[in-house]
Structure 1
Amino acid sequence: MSTPSRVRAQGTGPLLALLAFAQFISAIDYNIVYVALPEIGRAVGFDAHSLQWVISAYAVAFGGFLLLGGRAIDLLGRRRMFTTALALYGLSSLAGGLATEPGVLVAARAVQGLGGALLLPATLSLIATSFEEGAARNRALAVWGGAGAVGLALGSLLGGVLTQYLGWESVFYVNVPLALGAAAVAFTVIPADAARERDRGFDLAGGLTATAGFTAVVFGVVQGPEAGWTSAQTLVSLLAGLALVGVFLAVEARTAHPLMPLRLLRNRSLIAAMGITFVFMGTFGAQYYFFTVYLQNVHGYGAMATGLAFLPSALTGLVGTKASEWLLGRAGIRTTIVTGLLLGAAGMVALALAQSPTGGYAALLPGVVLLSLGQGLAWTAMFAAAGTGVDARHQGIASAMASTTQQIGGAVGLAVLIAVAGAGTDASTGPALVPGLRTAGFTAAALTLLGVAIALTLRRPAGTAPDDPASAPDVRQPQRVNAA
């Protein structure tokens, strides 16, 4: 049996920088398109209904392919999948910038989502197998999370600058050199993958049912607010997706080489992390959308001004991820997550209270600071929880499980909160939006407390056994090293 590749001790600094940069690219791409949406709609020919698919195509593909991507990483190799993901990102971004028809642009965004479904679990798996569980891994996750927090916030600023001065196409073109350059660097930083182990088969039935099921669920959730929750399209998609997920679980219980080993569901920390990522993305993740709507549709901010308004969030999020590393080492995962979620909930309430038809930007800053600080604390810690006690051979699929619930939670949360914000008004701009936006903020804060309840089920065990039956050290596992 061939052995997995080993990470060189001398390479941890450049490796961490590369993984953080990959997260930065992914995070920028998540937000950079929002500011450019109006211009994309006018230039490419989207109508009011179809424009949402510039965002939704990415979310559907990302959420649907995560489990398949995570298992591919475990079986086919971390470097192979990491570089493949970045290549998909770069080439699909080029196609998006060249698009002149809505269908082409939506397809390009879907391929970007597929790249994300490979990139996120590949990055988390490389962190989990390269840095020792504990302080070294916490530090690596803090650096990775900090890059993501900055990328999310700067994505809006960069989107505004590029759209205003270079046109909407540039928000796609900017990813091309970043992604392809990172893919090239990966070959010099990440050790080559070992040959595939012959006794580890690929679960084709599980891969097909999981991908189809989760894609259908995310599609139904995304379509629900626009098509109607009782429409045939939404109901068929949701019911078919849930049925396929049920078939997937049945397949996993019977196959010799499961896509998602069901014994992972006995890992208490991983299951809690999945619940927390679901709540987190459905509440924290939706705030970027509502903050943009408030600034642009209520107060008339342009693309550049909106981007600049996100800068305090970027700086505070970076502080939060650094503080998360410190708090993880002193108080543990549970306390760090609970603290982050409570701070974020307080920030959502403060933001909601500060919103008004005549209010200034300064009134929003206390809420922005609390929300971003809490986000940085919780983001790092919840992914630390997802990798705790998981065998190195299953880190890819474990991170994909937590990321899948994160993506579905984001789609569900945004759909629910948009419905809350829009209740009682048909307005799309102006002061009439404020009551609904405030109600959505209060609702998100209340839902965040569900994440707190889940986090309280976590515990810090004296010693956590890996998910495999044999807990003895396995010489086949990659050698872990301390952070540089």
Structure 2
Amino acid sequence: MTSSTSTAGSTRPPLGLLCAAQFMLVLDFAIVNVALGAMQRDLGFTASGLQWVVGAYALFYGGFLLLGGRAGDVFGRKRMFVTGLAVFTIASLVGGIANEPWILVLARAVQGLSAAAVSPAVLAMIAGGFPEGPERVKAMGVFGAVSSAGFTGGVVAGGLLTEFLTWRAVMLVNVPVGILLVALAARRLLADHKGTGSAKLDLPGAILVTSAMCALTYGLTEASDEGWGATSVLVSLGGGAALLIAFLIVQTRVSGPLVPLSIFRNRALSAGNGIAFLSGGVMSVSTFFITMYMQQVLGYSALRASMGFFPQAFVVFLASLPVVKLTHKLGARNVLIAGGVLLAAGAALLAQVTADSSYWLGVLPGGVLIGLGVTVMMISTAIAGTSGVSGPQMGLASGLFNSSRQLGVGIGLAVGVALAGVVHGAKVATIPVSGFQGAFWFTTGLSVAIVVVSVLGLRRTAVASAAHTAPATAPAAAPAGGGEKKATVGAPATAK
């Protein structure tokens, strides 16, 4: 394996190094979930403030991923990768020594911002370094498998670190890993091609879309405290909608838009991003509420709660390679439909929990099905979300895909918390049993929507012949979506 990267795909990037960085980013989202109770007790978070430990990371990650992907295209992906990892490592250190809630939330926001520079560079280097067809399917399969393993493994690791050390360890563990990855990346990645000097970054667009998502999320969060008719809720939701409309207007008028809207002519990309958004909501809501149910209703410690996720993590480990092979053989469309069904079934089972439910009957069956579904989503949506895209727009497509998933995490969790009807105390956020049921039914609805989008938004193709197709014939022209109708994208192109 070569140590260089190439946008032309003539050399192969160091897949292990890139996937290790992605593993750390995904793990960092999941690892804090089991530690939330300890963070709340130690730093005195309010109920609405606690969700921002997760939400701040997800929103800044998702909101700036598009800018991060574009910056990689302009300034070079190695530069964004190394710089982002360095900042992420520093933010992890600050979060680990935080003594006030706002410092931890700020550190999480900076982590998300820096991750937005790293993640699209990772995906773009993988997608750009492996030609579309069987080789990219396998590489994307490894990427997706590592991501799903990081998501579920992070929950287990969070409980172990919190129980035997402290919640601060879930932040500080990134420091030595980050330093090692920065050193390896600086040595093993060669500087890649940069865009032209005339290329511009749409910073106003990035600020508008991130501000819109934060305003919408804040409004949804406040609704759980103040009610849907409160002035603060209406102003936040209305302001968020206005900012989102302004973002779309700006994208049609600037010379170098953050998101050229024509890219959505690529049907596979559009559907893949919609599924990524929905699956992000499913993952965040299910993980958050399963964790809180085990700790609040079943009375589990952080360690025992993390061990409650071990079967799910084990299933992810076992299922990752078969999912890669199935996606290669059957196509992303068929596999995504099956994954949505698994998620819906798991969430519907979880919605049956009561105050008297046990872990073995109330949590485990649904949790395992969710784990299987998450594995499918992580792998197959990465393939669908970059299908039919090549050349200078790979960074944009990569950022768009990751952004959709992370925004789904932040928005989905905010809606789930609002629907759960959290009862607020001085130190502890108490969720009624009916709140858990409502949150899991909401997750079921998101999962059903994944099935619908997969069926309606992704076209059938001749899987058997496409699976062994040579590199894509899709043109690498800069105009977004210009060659979507003629793209031949191999097995992942079944999600076309």
TM-score, length of structure 1 as denominator length: 0.87
Q: Which amino acid letter does the alignment assign opposite residue 371 of structure 1?
A: I
Show the 5 A alignment for 1:289-368.
289-353=288-352, 357-361=356-360, 364-368=363-367
Q: Which amino acid letter does the alignment assign opposite residue 38 of structure 1?
A: G
Query: CA-to-partner distance for each residue in 1:107-141, whole Å, 9 max, x for gaps?
Result: 11110110122222222111211112222222222
Q: Shift of residue 464 of structure 1?
A: 6.6
Q: Which amino acid letter does the alignment assign opposite residue 210 of structure 1?
A: V
Q: Which amino acid letter does the alignment assign opposite residue 474 of structure 2?
A: A
Q: Report the number of matched residues.
A: 465
1:87–1:183 Cα contact (<8 Å) kept: yes
Report SS of the residue matched to 2:352. helix
Q: Which amino acid letter does the alignment assign opposite residue 458 of structure 2?
A: L
Using the TM superposition, name which of 461-470 and 86-95 deviates more.
461-470
Q: Which amino acid letter does the alignment assign opposite residue 407 of structure 1?
A: Q
State the partner residue of 2:146.
147
Distance in 2, matches of 1:105 and 1:420, equals 26
Q: Which amino acid letter does the alignment assign opposite residue 166 of structure 1?
A: L
Q: Which amino acid letter does the alignment assign opposite residue 325 of structure 1?
A: V
Report SS of the residue matched to 2:351. helix
Q: Shift of residue 75 of structure 1?
A: 1.1
Q: Which amino acid letter does the alignment assign opposite residue 333 of structure 1?
A: A
Using the TM superposition, name which of 63-72 and 439-448 deviates more.
439-448
Show the 5 A alignment for 1:400-439.
400-422=399-421, 433-439=432-438
Q: Give yes or no for the alignment of 1:283 onto 2:282.
A: yes
Q: Shift of residue 217 of structure 1?
A: 3.4
Distance in 1, matches of 2:38 and 2:355, equals 27
State the partner residue of 1:255.
254
Instruction: Kindly report the root-mean-square deviation, in angstroms, between the aligned alpha carbons of the 2 structures.
Output: 2.8
TM-aligned CA distance change 1:259 to 1:325, over 3 Å: same
TM-aligned CA distance change 1:438 to 1:249, over 3 Å: closer
State the partner residue of 1:118.
117
TM-aligned CA distance change 1:42 to 1:207, over 3 Å: closer
State the partner residue of 1:398.
397
Q: Give yes or no for the alignment of 1:191 onto 2:187.
A: no
Query: CA-to-partner distance for each residue in 1:362-381, whole Å, 9 max, x for gaps?
Result: 65333222221121112211
Query: CA-to-partner distance for each residue in 1:55-110, whole Å, 9 max, x for gaps?
Result: 23223322322222221122111111111221121100101112222222221111
Structure 2 unaligned blocks of 5 or more: 467-471, 485-496
1:63–1:218 Cα contact (<8 Å) kept: no
TM-aligned CA distance change 1:161 to 1:439, over 3 Å: same
State the partner residue of 1:388.
387
TM-aligned CA distance change 1:17 to 1:224, over 3 Å: farther
Q: Shift of residue 301 of structure 1?
A: 0.5
1:333–1:384 Cα contact (<8 Å) kept: yes
Q: 2:474 aligns with which of 447, 450, 465?
A: 465
Distance in 2, matches of 1:51 and 1:304, equals 19
Report SS of the residue matched to 2:432. helix
Query: CA-to-partner distance for each residue in 1:338-386, whole Å, 9 max, x for gaps?
Result: 0111112112223333655142436533322222112111221112111
TM-aligned CA distance change 1:221 to 1:184, over 3 Å: farther
Q: Shift of residue 419 of structure 1?
A: 3.5
1:154–1:307 Cα contact (<8 Å) kept: no
TM-aligned CA distance change 1:11 to 1:388, over 3 Å: closer
Report SS of the residue matched to 2:34. helix
TM-aligned CA distance change 1:227 to 1:143, over 3 Å: farther
State the partner residue of 1:68.
67
Q: Shift of residue 285 of structure 1?
A: 2.8
Q: Shift of residue 266 of structure 1?
A: 1.0
Show the 5 A alignment for 1:212-251.
212-251=211-250
State the partner residue of 1:17.
16
TM-aligned CA distance change 1:123 to 1:228, over 3 Å: farther
State the partner residue of 2:176.
177
TM-aligned CA distance change 1:238 to 1:398, over 3 Å: farther
Using the TM superposition, name which of 295-304 and 125-134 deviates more.
125-134
Q: Which amino acid letter does the alignment assign opposite residue 459 of structure 1?
A: R
1:286–1:413 Cα contact (<8 Å) kept: yes
Q: Which amino acid letter does the alignment assign opposite residue 303 of structure 1?
A: A
Q: Shift of residue 317 of structure 1?
A: 1.6
TM-aligned CA distance change 1:217 to 1:351, over 3 Å: closer
2:63–2:206 Cα contact (<8 Å) kept: no
Report SS of the residue matched to 1:353. coil
Distance in 2, matches of 1:223 and 1:140, equals 42
Q: Shift of residue 227 of structure 1?
A: 4.5
1:320–1:375 Cα contact (<8 Å) kept: no
TM-aligned CA distance change 1:224 to 1:8, over 3 Å: same
State the partner residue of 1:54.
53
Distance in 2, matches of 1:215 and 1:301, equals 32
Query: CA-to-partner distance for each residue in 1:222-274, whole Å, 9 max, x for gaps?
Result: 44433443333333333233323322222222333222222202111111112
2:6–2:129 Cα contact (<8 Å) kept: no
Report SS of the residue matched to 1:35. coil
Distance in 1, matches of 2:362 and 2:55, equals 32
TM-aligned CA distance change 1:238 to 1:64, over 3 Å: farther
Using the TM superposition, name which of 357-366 and 91-100 deviates more.
357-366
Distance in 1, matches of 2:275 and 2:394, equals 18
Query: CA-to-partner distance for each residue in 1:402-448, whole Å, 9 max, x for gaps?
Result: 2333223223322333333338x889799x93343234323322331
Q: Shift of residue 465 of structure 1?
A: 3.3
Q: Which amino acid letter does the alignment assign opposite residue 243 of structure 1?
A: A
Distance in 2, matches of 1:213 and 1:314, equals 34
Q: Sequence identity, in percent?
A: 38
2:29–2:58 Cα contact (<8 Å) kept: no
Distance in 1, matches of 2:383 and 2:148, equals 16
State the partner residue of 1:478.
none
Distance in 1, matches of 2:127 and 2:257, equals 21
1:67–1:211 Cα contact (<8 Å) kept: no
Q: Shift of residue 9 of structure 1?
A: 6.3
State the partner residue of 2:208.
209
Q: Give yes or no for the alignment of 1:38 onto 2:37.
A: yes
State the partner residue of 1:371.
370
Q: Which amino acid letter does the alignment assign opposite residue 16 of structure 1?
A: L
Q: Which amino acid letter does the alignment assign opposite residue 132 of structure 1?
A: P
1:64–1:218 Cα contact (<8 Å) kept: no
1:218–1:408 Cα contact (<8 Å) kept: no
